[in-house]
Amino acid sequence: MKFQEPPKRKQPSQFWVDIVKKLRENPKRPALIGDYSAAVGSHIRNGFYPAFIPSNTDDAKTFMKRNFEVQTVKRPDKRYDLYITYIGAE
């Protein structure tokens, strides 16, 4: 056994930091982010992407639900278009 501090929250990628910045600058405007797997949309929606979550947030999933709408739309090639809207509740 080893006593140590747990790792800090994963650092956000600059790509997603830039996306969040643009979304916040354009509230209530849906943005097509690109084509991804459905899992990416689900992970963002559930608060697993740190770029979307302020560091002092305890409940990432609730924060996301109040501040962002995340939708995936299935494409013919079995990928998904990812749409995100900043609804700006907080």
| Domain tally, the chain | 1
> Residue 15: its pLDDT value, please?
95
Would you say residue 53 lies in a domain? yes
Contact 89, 67 (CB under 8 A): yes
Would you say residue 17 lies in a domain? no
Q: Which helix (H) or strand (E) holds 25?
A: helix 14-25
The range of the structural domain enclosing residue 44 comes to 32-86
> Residue 12: its pLDDT value, please?
82
> Residue 56: its pLDDT value, please?
87
Q: pTM score, two decimals?
A: 0.84
Contact 52, 46 (CB under 8 A): no
- The whole-number mean pLDDT for each consecutive block of 10 residues of the chain, a chain of 90 residues, reads 76 92 97 94 95 91 96 92 89
Name the burial class of residue 49, with classes exposed (0-12), middle (13-18) and buried (19+) by CB atoms within 10 angstroms of its CB.
buried
What backbone torsions phi and psi does residue 34 show, to the nearest 5 degrees?
A: 155, -170
